[in-house]
Amino acid sequence: MSEFSTYYENKIINHMLRGIAFTPPATIYVALFTAVTGLENNNPTGEVSGNAYVRQVCALIDATGDGVSENSVEITFPVATPGAWGLITHVALVDHQTNVTWGTNVNVLMWSLLDLEKQIDANDQFKFAAGAVDVTVA
């Protein structure tokens, strides 16, 4: 992940530097997007929806001494059925699996442009291999 959302930046600053309590989400989810619109300001408009799409759990390994973590197991999305999801261009880590009211009951934590965009047509399946979702704080 290359970018923190403004929402998450504010939570980090307030917690780490101002002593304002913040409880991190117990579970982090991966969401797929067909556009970058709104990811930075926690109001995305391009999340995939329908055709069996659902956000997937992202289990991260403990951060190493260099401020890096990655997914510990493969992340497998359902088969796109009965229709296509479109051209997947971006990915985000979010704090809820099913809620859809951005900034109220689901938030973008981090987001990134994919290294390779991927067209997901009907009966295709999107996967991240173990270690493919890199989270770096630098």
Q: Is the peptide bond before 82 cis (omega within 30 degrees of 0)?
A: yes
Return d(Cα 55, Cα 30) in angstroms, integer. 6
The 10s digit of each residue's pLDDT in 82-112 is 999 999 999 999 999 999 999 999 999 999 9
The single-letter code of the amino acid at 91 is V
Structural domain containing residue 130? 3-136
Q: Which strand ranges, in their side-by-side order, compose the sheet holding 108-120?
A: 3-4, 108-120, 86-94, 29-33, 56-57
- Residue 93 host element (H or E): strand 86-94
DSSP states along 99-129: ---BTTTB-EEEEEEEEEEEEE-TT-EEEE-
Confidence (pTM): 0.94
Give residues with Cβ within 8 angstroms of 78, minimum separation 6. 52, 53, 54, 125
Return d(Cα 60, Cα 121) in angstroms, integer. 28
- Confidence class for position 129, pLDDT limits 50, 70, 90: very high
The 10s digit of each residue's pLDDT in 35-73 is 999 999 999 999 999 999 999 999 998 877 788 899 999
Our count of domains for the chain comes to 1
